[in-house]
Amino acid sequence: MLLPRAGGAAGRASPPLAALSQVLRLERSRRTSIVFPLQKLERYLAPGTDTAPFRLFQPGLAALQRAEALFRSDRGHPIDYVSSAVRMDHAPPPALPEVCFIGRSNVGKSSLIRALFSLAPEVEVRVSKTPGHTKKMNFFKVGKYFTLVDMPGYGYRAPQDFVQMVEAYLQERHNLKRTFLLVDGVVGLQKTDHIAVEMLEEFGIPYVMVLTKIDRASRGLLLKNVLEIQEFVKENTQGCFPQLFLVSSVEFSGVHLLRCFVAHVTGNLPTVEAS
């Protein structure tokens, strides 16, 4: 059984608010904005706005804690970078449930994956890089529970072999449980994001949108982007989960909830009781 323990692995300190125990010490309003950043926006909606998409996935503390334990490495529960692959036949065997993270270069994908794995500081996730440079899929194994794949960032001028690699992965990876499409919370959906959405829709793959860098957007701008994207999801998509996930890798907001959703979609959290 996995039990939460204090502090980071390997004696290294984890960042402030990386652990729920740290968040729980905050006063109530700040705690809500860290754990449920989307819910925090709800009170600023015009009366009569449909709030259902704001609260579809709303786990209680016990579920959040169980999910956090999965992301905390331990001698009996290693979290490791496994390998990188440029082609599907180089990918590790599809033995465990899997999630993948995709998004434009610079959307904040490495930072988010690093934040998710911050309680396993021995896991190395490269953060800064030349845009458009790395074109590899990076596989991380979370104990015997699931794998997480960092897909190469896409952008304009994506080479054809890169597009083929991502398409092949999305179409062929039978253990893929959910794709996390990262969208910049400051600038909202861009042309390349629409291309990614079209691809996911065409393949009929379940996915969820994650709005990044929310600490950089004013409340008004964030609300505008959230409402626009929610409307887009409702009107134009079949496979996208209607609730958006808002994250800041700097402030750690939304990271605990995202860990919980990953645990849930990979079948590692059978019951998600409401908070």
# residues near ligand GDP by CB under 6 A: 18
Of 19 and 217, CB closest to ligand GDP: 217
For the CB of residue 270, give the shortest distance to ligand GDP in the complex, in Å. 31
Residues in region 235-254 near ligand GDP by CB under 6 A: 248-250
* Site map (CB under 6 A) of ligand GDP, residues 187-226, x = contact: -------------------------xx-xx----------
Is residue 100 involved in binding ligand GDP (CB under 6 A)?
A: no
The correct pick among 65, 111, 138, 225 for binding ligand GDP (CB under 6 A) is 111
Is residue 110 involved in binding ligand GDP (CB under 6 A)?
A: yes
Of 91 and 210, CB closest to ligand GDP: 210
Assign 3-class secondary structure to the chain.
Answer: CCCCCCCCHHHCCCCCCCCHHHHCCCCHHHHHHHHCHHHHHHCCCCCCCCCHHHCCCCECHHHHHHHHHHCCCECCECEEEEEEECCHHHCCCCCCCEEEEEEECCCCHHHHHHHHCCCCCCCCCCCCCCCCCCCCEEEEEECCCEEEEECCCECCCCCHHHHHHHHHHHHHCCCEEEEEEEEECCCCCCHHHHHHHHHHHHHCCCEEEEEECHHHCCHHHHHHHHHHHHHHHHHHCCCECCCCEECCCCCCCCHHHHHHHHHHHCCCCCCCCEC
Is residue 130 involved in binding ligand GDP (CB under 6 A)?
A: no
The correct pick among 60, 127, 224, 228 for binding ligand GDP (CB under 6 A) is 127
Q: Residues interacting with ligand GDP, by CB under 6 A? A: 103, 105-111, 127-128, 153, 212-213, 215-216, 248-250
